[in-house]
Structures are given as structure tokens and as C-alpha cells.
Structure 1
């Protein structure tokens, strides 16, 4: 691992791709709070990153010096397993267009946000970055994973061929303000918040969750992700991706119990084992990130409480 002390110019144009999404929105807020005064973003309604000519025209106009690539088509296990073509095609096009344009317009530092799903389904736990490409992927999200792996390889190729100081980071499961709470396309923690909140408000006596509840997962609040993103941009310069997580996990059943407590739900909880569980366990080895001096600051229960309060306050406008 190569560490580096790279002081980013707080006045330079800094493009956050996907700045209205869960991860990108948190990165934008953190950079703003850290004193960056020239943040650049475009909603997908104004700039479709799948359209190559439009992406190049945007880079020609804005000339960003730094880029955080947080734009992607994302979704939960149902969306990934039923729409693999969109998750592969859209994400590959988005990444290729942005990275090629960033090279053409001489972007100094770029960080590609990937996903922990790039690692093999049965990778040794906790998962080291060296596990990449050592085994078969989880089939319910293999198309999305392949797209993200392509992004990692693209960054590495840019470093090798053009000496670009670009990096990639693999966050664990994210949650927090701005999440997607749709019943069909959300990730597990947001889905649980929506499900238990609906049950409390409607007086339902039973909540049914997907799967068996046995898989173990790690969760990272997006405010911690954003803090880690800036930290690695200024302290890491290596071809290998770097994991971003907490180093702690719990079962989905335990997570369900936690969300139910936060929501004030006291009814029964059932599990639909006909629905897929996905990977049995997914815990990241974060020793390389910790060696750079970064630690998470949001404990899980406090983070879930904050996420639930945000959803309750934005129920009508949240993505659902």
C-alpha cells in the first residue's frame, strides 16, 4: 500500500458525479463543510452520464480538477436480480464516459466509488482487497458487480498507461439521509425502515421480511463514507482499491430487531424464506484504511435513529 499526503486545493473545481444520490449527496455536504468553495454537480435530468458527447461537453465547460465518481444505477437484491442488463449496461457506460472525459480534460485526482459486491460470494472473511477476482460472484447482483469491477480496472489502466493519480474505493452497505425507500428497489436497511414505519402508522400486527435473516452484513453511515472519501483522496495513492467500512457486522435478523425498536414496532416479525438471502456474509477488512488513520464516527444504533428520523421527516418527498 502506498500512502501519500496530497493537499487538495479547496478553491479548485471539484465535480461530484451523482451529487443528489445517497453517497454523492453526503460527499457534497462533507466537502462543503471542509471548505471546498467550487463544487460542481449536475442532476441526471440535466446531464445523462450515459450520453458520451454530453459528458465531454460538460467537462469541456467546467474543467474540474478533482472528481468523485458516485453516480451509478443502484438497487437492492430484487432490482439487481431482475434487471441485470440495465445494471451492467448503464453503469459501464457511465463509468467509461466519465473516466475518459476526466482523462481528456486532465483531471488530477479522481476517486471511483465501487461496491463490496465486487468480491467473490464465498470470499474469506473479513474480505481483503486482494480477494478481488479470486472466485465466483453472488449471482443476484453479478451484472452490477462486473460493471463495478470494470470501473476498478479502468482506474488501474489509467494509472498504468497514463500515470494518473486516480484511486478506487469499495464501501460496504451504506445508509442514511437521501436513501431510496422504495419497496422493490431499496437496500435492506432502508427497506426495513420503510416496512416498520408503515406497520407502526397503519397498526399492522405482522411484518414480513425477505429471506431467513441469517446473512451477516456490515453497515456504514454515509456521513462516515464522505469523511473517508476525503481522507483517502488526501492520504492514499495506490492502484489497489481500498475498502471503506466499520469492520463490524450483524445478522439481518439482528438488524431487523434494531430497526423495529427504533420505529417503536411491537408486533410479530415473520421471514419469507422463499426470497433470496444473497451472500452468506459480507464483512470488509478495513485494516488498510485504518492504517491511514481513519475511523468511523457514527455508531450503528445512533445512525439508524438518525436515518429513521430523517425518513419520518421526509416521508412525502423521500424516494419511495
Structure 2
């Protein structure tokens, strides 16, 4: 990419998209195309094609998606699969149709089988059953990366995909009904702290192991891949470290400064038992994460208390 290249960041207001915008601006990419849902609804093919025909972006970061945690995925599976499929199909096809030089699609580590060998290598995709609690979202994300793979294979389009691990950071979604585990726990512990609640309930047993990556590290990896990677095989992006949900809850409790107890509700679902990405291929390209988990949690919590009143 040239510094003056026309770059479209789809989903620029979300957790990932906003981080990509911050990274691009930091690197002096100034010709950014940023359009909200009120300007172009990515689920509507006619609007997307009109947008691409008018603006002719040269590079596309496809970070737009309907996302959420276990509760949201379980409650709204039809919306998760429909909206994500529509976004991916419309943007990827229009990128091909209107001659985009390169597109990066953001997948998710939940695409891998529920009982996948650990750490999860890229070639393990479609080797087993998906986790039921996020199956709709995973199927849509698999379709998106396959679209990129097949458009590259058939048409020669330079469309690539990366599979980030669990993400968190500033500009995250802290709604308890739709958020992922880290923002949900940050909000729970903060509210318990200011209201002097005696305990905080955490869903599940606390035993599942998870890997987390600060979102600005992902944005750095996305720009790196856009400049250095052209293979049709998707590539994992993660921290290479894992932590149990119980240990994570204790760490967030420490960061927030909450003094009460933690109670695990084992009647609620745990989700996938373990989920650690094999990031060997990305590391061999020369990229690695910069922000450690506790440092990232502290920055996220500061952003939360500054922005949620």
C-alpha cells in the first residue's frame, strides 16, 4: 500500500475496525474511506455495489461483522448467520467486481472444531464438529474465508484472510447481553466495586482455557499482513499464551480493585474447553504481539471508566 492509497475499512466504528483505523493513521495512511451503516448498509447488495462503484477503494479491510458472546450467539443465531453472510458476500464480490487490489478478511478462531487438537493449526479447519453455542457465527466466518480463497483461486483476486484469537481492548462492547468475556467481566467487577456487592457471578466452571490478544496488536498484524502476505491459506493471529477463565476473573478483579468474592455458576455453558491458536506461520513472517494481558486489561479498564458513565 502507498501512503496515499484509497483504503476502505469496513466496520470502522467497531472494536477491530477502529483499531485498524488508529494503526493506519499512525503509519500516515491518510486517504481512508470510512462509512457508517447509515451511509451504506453492507447487508444490502445494491447499496454495497453503488458504494464500490462510486468510491473505488484500492484496499479493503473487512472488519464489519455481527459479533457477540455466548448469550448473544445462542439467542440470535439466525441474525448472526444471515447478517454476516450478507456482509461478506456483498463486500467480497464487489471488491472483485470493481477491481480492488487487495482485501483482508477478518475471521475468528471460533471457526475451528470444538475438540480441535491444540494449539490449532490453520489446516485443522473443517476437521470436526463446531462448538454449538457459536455455530451460526462460525459457519458464516468459514464461508467468508472460503470466498476469499476461491475468488483468489478462480479469478486471481488478491484476497487474504486472518483468524484472530479472542480480542479485547478500547472501544469494546460492554453490554452484558451481547459482550464477550473480558468486557463483560470488567463491567461486572466495576459495578460490584462501586455498589459494594459481596460477590460477582461468572458464567461456567472457570475451567476453560482461552487466549487473548489486545486489539491494537491485531490491527498491527492486519497492516503487516496487508503489506507482507499473499497466500490463499488463512493465517492465525494470536498471543501464543492461554489462561483459564478462573485465572482471568482473578486478574480482572485485581485490575479493577474489587475486594469481594467470585462465584462460578456451573449451570451456565462453558463453551469450547480450550482454544489456543498455533501462530507459527505468522511468527515466521516476523510478527509478534507487543501488549501483555495485564497491561492490556489496565488500558481497557481505564478506557471503560472514562467512557461509560
TM-score normalised per structure 2: 0.99
CA distance in 2, matches of 1:208, 1:299: 26
Which residue is 1:137 aligned to? Answer: 130
Picking from 219, 223, 226, the partner of 1:230 is: 223
Mind listing any 5+ residue stretches in structure 1 that lack a counterpart? 1-7
TM-score under structure 1 length normalisation: 0.96
Q: Distance in 1 between matches of 2:183 and 2:282?
A: 26
Is it true that 1:97 corresponds to 2:119 in the alignment? Answer: no
Matches within 5 A, 1:154-169: 154-169=147-162
Which of 207, 224, 245 aligns to 2:238? It is 245
- SS state of the match for residue 15, structure 1? strand
CA distance in 2, matches of 1:56, 1:33: 30
Which residue of the other structure, out of 66, 70, 73, is the alignment partner of 1:77? 70
Q: Residues of 2 paired with 1:304 and 1:295: CA distance? A: 19
Q: Which runs of 5+ in 2 are unaligned?
A: none
What secondary structure, in the 3-state scheme, does the structure 1 residue paired with 2:135 have? helix
Q: Is residue 113 of structure 1 aligned with residue 83 of structure 2?
A: no
> 2:32 and 2:196 mapped to 1: Cα distance?
44
The SS at the match of 2:83 is helix
Deviations 1:200-227 (CA, angstroms, capped at 9, x unpaired): 1111111111000000000000110000
Structure 1 residues 234-291: Cα deviation after superposition (integer angstroms, max 9, x where no partner): 1111111000001100000000000000000010110111110000000000000000
* CA distance in 2 between partners of 1:45 and 1:193 (Å): 30
In the aligned structure 2, how far is the partner of 1:293 from the partner of 1:22? Answer: 25
Counterpart of 1:37 in structure 2 is 30
Residue correspondence of structure 1 range 143-292 to structure 2 within 5 A: 143-292=136-285
Question: Take 2:38 and 2:183, find their aligned partners in 1: how far apart are those partners?
Answer: 24
Counterpart CA distance in 2 for 1:104 and 1:240 is: 22
Deviation (angstroms), 1:35? 1.1
DSSP 3-state at the match of 1:169: strand
Structure 1 stretches of at least 4 aligned residues deviating more than 2 Å after TM superposition? none
Q: CA RMSD in A?
A: 0.6
Q: Distance in 2 between matches of 1:62 and 1:201?
A: 48
Q: Deviation digits for residues 165-197 of structure 1, max 9, x if unmatched?
A: 110000000000110001111000010000000
Task: Determine the C-alpha separation between the residues in 2 that align with 1:163 and 1:48.
Answer: 27
